[in-house]
Structure 1
Amino acid sequence: MGAISTHFTGLDWAVVVAYMLLTTWIGHLLSGKNATIRDFFLGGRTLPWWAVCGSMLATEISALTFIAVPGGVFALKGDWTYLQWGIGSMIARFAVAYWLVPLYFRNEIYSPYDYMGAKLGEGVRRLVTVLFSLGAILGQSVRVLVTAIILQTVTGLSMSVCIIAIGAFAVVWTLMGGMRTVIWTDVIQFGVFMFGGILALGWLVGNIGWDSMVDINRHVIGPDGLVDKMRIFDFTAPWDNPMLEYTFWVGVIAMPFQNFTAFGTDQLNAQRIFCCGNEHDAKKAMAWSSVSMIITILMLAVGSGLFAWYKTHGLSVDEAAKFAEDSNYVFPVWITTVLPPGITGLILAGAFAAAISSLDSVLAALSQTTLSAWYGREKLEHEGSGPAMVLQSRLAVFVWAVILSGVAIILSKIYEKTHEKNLIDLAFGMIAYTYGPLLGVLLCAILPGKRYLGGLIAGVCLSVLLVVWARPELDHLAALLHLKDALQAAAAWRPHFAFPWFYPINAAITFGFACIPFGRRLSGKS
């Protein structure tokens, strides 16, 4: 690690500091006044659709796509099959744009949970707020971890120090200007990310040649024979191998549910919809965010380029040791050791700032939903123009930053001890705990028919417990509590299928149980 970090020069440090100061200053200039809750959480609903779209892209991509996608391709069994998930993503975005956005814009609401609460009652709104908070902490902690890996690689600092630094900057950016600052700084980060990805691919192709790069990736000798690392489609049926995650069927069946939930019920993304001035602009922002597929293709190509680069140029002793430990180090190490000083600092500063943008987005979302659940929507709106409520929103941001940074540090300790280093699987797996139940509750609010509180709560609990039982995090917890042997005795009873299938399965469980006449009937008048 030390030998690699020495490539990060004083000029790179100067660029990082200058970039962070400049971005903070620009965010302050564009923040405007935040005299009311509406200003702080919705940007006054005056933001242009293209800026909102850029913010969606920056939040979705973050350092996770920038680092984990190339690392996944570089890995021993890596290829381009991750791209199949993009099919479901595009289907879901248009469904959200032309089905959910009109429903949300009929009323002045701050979140999808306000909509669910209006349809099903205040108790349900608090329930989905808890689900969102849990999912946001678990999912966002992975994104913080990814950027901490980058910082640790180039600086040699400890993982915990890197995580605390990210959290501290995120608090400053969020408190400085609310959603206006979040969105405009997101747009800046998106531009730097695109510049970094295009520069990296251009550098790789310019030195290796596109034809040579493709030839190297398409004729790889692996443990099981010849491997095509640029393969896109895998049509393996779920019943032939239910544990496969990157297949065409997962992409077109399971992932639309995941993305519909991500953009329709997860306040981290949905909050941007409400920052648009009208329904038409919100639709455009959501539909145009489908261009994220292009960024995914770009980073997959970078991953293939990195594989070809190290096949032709070889690995140093330090690099070989680092990549054998974790392929997610490949791109940050290449940026640090190959690109000229200054350019290295700019790209890594962009990655650092992008993580902060993702984190300040979720801090704003957590703060808003917490206050809404605690006080109720009517009181929040009534007192939203007062300084006391704005102050409480800022305090909530700080508290959630401490909690999320703490969870990220704990996750980093687990990550260091596990043999599974696929950060994309980890990020999507963490949100599997809550996305199915959230979608199930949304369907209860949208679709006609009677719903019952007791059945809904039972469905939500069963869905979450099912994921707890199946996910590997339970194994790590059992090991810490010295209960691993007891858990292994019951391993045969665990569900054996890839985690993306939990999205539709748990949505169906939650919705189905809510239709059972158990407990009082749900009504928005309660």
Structure 2
Amino acid sequence: MFLGAIDVHFTWIDWVVVALYMGLTTWIGHLMSGKAATVKDFFLGGRSMPWWAVSGSMIATEISALTFIGVPGAVFALKGDWTYLQWGVGSVIARGIVGYWLVPLYYRKEIYSPYDFMGNRLGEGVRRLVTVLFSMGAILGQSVRVLVTALILQTVTPLSMNTCIWAIGGFAVVWTLMGGMRTVIWTDVIQFCVFVLGGVLALGWLVGHLGWNEIVAINTGVPLPDGGSVDKMRIFDFTAPWTDKMLNYTFWVGVIAMPFQNLAAFGTDQLNAQRMFCCGSEKDARKAMLWSSVSLVTTLLMLAVGSGLFAWYQVKGMTPDEAAAFAQDPNNVFPVWITTVLPVGLTGLILAGAFAAAISSLDSVLAALSQTTLSAVLGRKKMECEEGSARMVKLSRMMVVMWAVFLSLFAIWLEGERRESGSKNLIDLAFGMVSYTYGPLLGILLAAILPGKKSLEGVLLGVVVSVGLVAWMRPELPSLLAAMGLPVAWLVESRPQIAFPWMFPVNALITLGCAMLPLGKSIRVGREHD
């Protein structure tokens, strides 16, 4: 690591600011949480949360420290630009579909998760299957957020990455156990405000010292080692999919593939959907979902910060330690800049906001994993019958701790794999990890909604084929096989040459198609299954 000479810039005053901020946020969250006397209180906030708070919580969960650190790092990288913003088109489309189509379906009957809805339509076997898929996807996707937060903590401390990961997991458990979803949502709102404030202050500092015109000029026509150049503030790329199938950030990926990804994220991922169920009415849930599109403004803000950071180091230069840290991982650039450039105290506030934003995302997924696990193991009826019992609340809290340990262990493994493979784009890593499960989950949801006969055997076949396709395309399986001493060259050489975002629609349609096959006992959609 090259950060040893950088952490000295993070003074005791900054640590005091971090401690005060984290303590104050914890105290406010505890005050706002109320008493989690029932499972409904713990997981759904008593269905009494205001829509604007739920919307802010959705945004905070979506952006988290991954956007705060990963987006500027991606722009700062050699060929980085703003084309990631094109994916926002698909996000807006999907939120509209969720708000006007899925929310009414979910609110017709009191349920705890989309998996209850799918189970009611397709049977208990499907409920358990989608719960397993969600748990798998949550561990894969959220482990990247743990890594991002650990990267920030490692920048300002001499601690190892593994120690940072365990510390973050422990704090997330504390926040989750304080009061369930009420605490999660209210702390999310606080983090969202500080997160945006940090981005605005950083961009203001960069513009104030360099000037916006200078930033734009430096980011235009940046020469590359191969003789080409890149416009680091380019937004649109209209390259046709068949011209270069490996491009992730194009307009066509944004408007065709990413609506499927976001429909799965907001409609089937309990991490996001759980917030909708915390609203008191269908109308409030729709408003919360639609207004969460404001997150695109935050993404735009952090893209601008990334361009500002690139211009800053072009003009001001960098120390040998900074150059080494950025060469090792471009995601170091923003936390290092905050630590070494901003005034004492302000550094602590902004990084405290980043810590808290990341932890608020983690406590959200821990609550969601706990709820879906209990629902799958005990069944929805038993949960409803015993929702007010001390035993059920205790079990919920035990599940939170169990999942926190598992998530931390997987994050440690993933960091080792990331370092070995040289993967540096955290945004691609995060979206790539959820590509294993989002397509199958969306396909099962569509099977539960669309008329016609479906079968559990067909759904299982679709899931196996879909997950297998992603495993074939992604580097994780070859790495695992290589660690076991098995040959992997054949797997890598036969890998399909296609950008991973296209697997969201492909796998959703594969799963839906297989669900319609006449395999085993068929279930006609529309029949309720208790």
When normalised by structure 2's length, the TM-score is: 0.98
Match of 2:282 in 1: 279
Distance in 2 separating the partners of 1:493 and 1:420: 21
Q: Which amino acid aligns with 1:100?
A: L
**What is the CA RMSD across the aligned residues, in angstroms?**
0.9
Structure 1 residue 227, shift from structure 2 partner: 1.6
Q: Which amino acid aligns with 1:509?
A: I
Distance in 2 separating the partners of 1:33 and 1:469: 47
Q: Which amino acid aligns with 2:497?
A: H
The answer to whether the Cα contact below 8 Å between 2:90 and 2:262 also exists between their aligned partners in 1 is: yes
Q: Which amino acid aligns with 2:44?
A: L
- The 5 Å alignment of 1:373-452 reads 373-452=376-455
Distance in 2 separating the partners of 1:27 and 1:9: 27
- The 5 Å alignment of 1:252-263 reads 252-263=255-266
Aligned residues: 524
Secondary structure of the 1:3 match is coil
Distance in 2 separating the partners of 1:166 and 1:422: 21
State which of 479, 488, 498 in structure 2 corresponds to 1:476. 479
State which of 167, 175, 179 in structure 1 corresponds to 2:181. 179
Secondary structure of the 1:518 match is coil
> In 2 relative to 1, CA 490–400 (structure 1 residues): closer, same or farther, beyond 3 Å?
closer
Distance in 2 separating the partners of 1:480 and 1:351: 34
Match of 2:504 in 1: 503
Structure 1 residue 368, shift from structure 2 partner: 0.4
Secondary structure of the 1:396 match is helix
Distance in 1 separating the partners of 2:529 and 2:83: 47
Structure 1 residue 219, shift from structure 2 partner: 2.4
Structure 1 residue 156, shift from structure 2 partner: 2.1
Secondary structure of the 2:453 match is coil
Residue deviations 1:100-126, cap 9 Å, x none?
A: 000000000000000000000011000
Match of 1:170 in 2: 172
Structure 1 residue 493, shift from structure 2 partner: 2.4
Match of 1:344 in 2: 347
Distance in 2 separating the partners of 1:65 and 1:410: 22
Structure 1 segments of 4+ aligned residues over 6 angstroms from their partners? none
Structure 1 residue 313, shift from structure 2 partner: 0.2
Q: Which amino acid aligns with 2:53?
A: A
Distance in 2 separating the partners of 1:297 and 1:353: 21
Structure 1 residue 133, shift from structure 2 partner: 0.2
The answer to whether the Cα contact below 8 Å between 2:169 and 2:408 also exists between their aligned partners in 1 is: yes
Distance in 1 separating the partners of 2:477 and 2:315: 41
Structure 1 residue 487, shift from structure 2 partner: 1.6
The answer to whether the Cα contact below 8 Å between 2:118 and 2:126 also exists between their aligned partners in 1 is: yes
Structure 1 residue 481, shift from structure 2 partner: 1.9
Distance in 2 separating the partners of 1:82 and 1:449: 38
State which of 13, 16, 24 in structure 1 corresponds to 2:15. 13
Gaps of 5+ in 1: none
Distance in 1 separating the partners of 2:484 and 2:207: 50
Residue deviations 1:159-213, cap 9 Å, x none?
A: 1111111111111111111000000000000011001000000000000000000
> In 2 relative to 1, CA 80–395 (structure 1 residues): closer, same or farther, beyond 3 Å?
same
Structure 1 residue 413, shift from structure 2 partner: 1.4
Structure 1 residue 469, shift from structure 2 partner: 1.0
Q: Which amino acid aligns with 1:52?
A: V
Distance in 2 separating the partners of 1:459 and 1:2: 49
Match of 2:204 in 1: 202
Distance in 2 separating the partners of 1:242 and 1:416: 26
Match of 1:53 in 2: 55
Structure 1 residue 522, shift from structure 2 partner: 2.6
Secondary structure of the 2:498 match is coil
Structure 1 residue 495, shift from structure 2 partner: 1.4
Residue deviations 1:330-382, cap 9 Å, x none?
A: 00000000000100001111111111100100000000000001111111001
State which of 243, 264, 275 in structure 2 corresponds to 1:240. 243
Match of 2:253 in 1: 250
Match of 2:115 in 1: 113
- The 5 Å alignment of 1:25-36 reads 25-36=27-38
Match of 1:521 in 2: 522
Q: Which amino acid aligns with 2:127?
A: R
Residue 253 (structure 2) pairs with residue 289 (structure 1):
no
Q: Which amino acid aligns with 1:284?
A: K
Structure 1 residue 452, shift from structure 2 partner: 1.2
The answer to whether the Cα contact below 8 Å between 2:4 and 2:158 also exists between their aligned partners in 1 is: yes
Distance in 2 separating the partners of 1:256 and 1:73: 23
Structure 1 residue 475, shift from structure 2 partner: 2.5
State which of 314, 317, 322 in structure 1 corresponds to 2:317. 314
> In 2 relative to 1, CA 344–292 (structure 1 residues): closer, same or farther, beyond 3 Å?
same
Match of 1:225 in 2: 228
Distance in 2 separating the partners of 1:501 and 1:156: 41
Q: Which amino acid aligns with 1:112?
A: P
Distance in 2 separating the partners of 1:158 and 1:377: 42
State which of 87, 102, 105 in structure 2 corresponds to 1:103. 105
When normalised by structure 1's length, the TM-score is: 0.99
The answer to whether the Cα contact below 8 Å between 2:478 and 2:492 also exists between their aligned partners in 1 is: no
Secondary structure of the 2:223 match is strand
- The 5 Å alignment of 1:125-164 reads 125-164=127-166
Distance in 1 separating the partners of 2:491 and 2:342: 51
Distance in 2 separating the partners of 1:225 and 1:242: 21
The answer to whether the Cα contact below 8 Å between 2:146 and 2:358 also exists between their aligned partners in 1 is: yes
Q: Which amino acid aligns with 1:476?
A: S
Distance in 2 separating the partners of 1:156 and 1:358: 25
Q: Which moved more, 1:344-353 or 1:407-416?
A: 407-416
Distance in 2 separating the partners of 1:420 and 1:407: 17
Match of 2:456 in 1: 453
Residue 372 (structure 2) pairs with residue 369 (structure 1):
yes
Structure 1 residue 490, shift from structure 2 partner: 4.0
Distance in 1 separating the partners of 2:190 and 2:167: 20
Structure 1 residue 478, shift from structure 2 partner: 2.6
Residue 314 (structure 2) pairs with residue 305 (structure 1):
no
Distance in 2 separating the partners of 1:433 and 1:140: 13
Q: Which amino acid aligns with 1:108?
A: E
Structure 1 residue 479, shift from structure 2 partner: 2.8
The answer to whether the Cα contact below 8 Å between 2:472 and 2:491 also exists between their aligned partners in 1 is: no
Residue deviations 1:231-286, cap 9 Å, x none?
A: 11111111111110000000000000000000000000000000000000000000
Structure 1 residue 477, shift from structure 2 partner: 1.4
The answer to whether the Cα contact below 8 Å between 2:119 and 2:529 also exists between their aligned partners in 1 is: no
Distance in 2 separating the partners of 1:157 and 1:295: 30
Distance in 1 separating the partners of 2:481 and 2:318: 38
Q: Determine what percentage of the aligned residue pairs are the same residue.
A: 70
Distance in 2 separating the partners of 1:456 and 1:219: 50
Distance in 1 separating the partners of 2:478 and 2:299: 32
Secondary structure of the 1:238 match is coil
Match of 1:267 in 2: 270
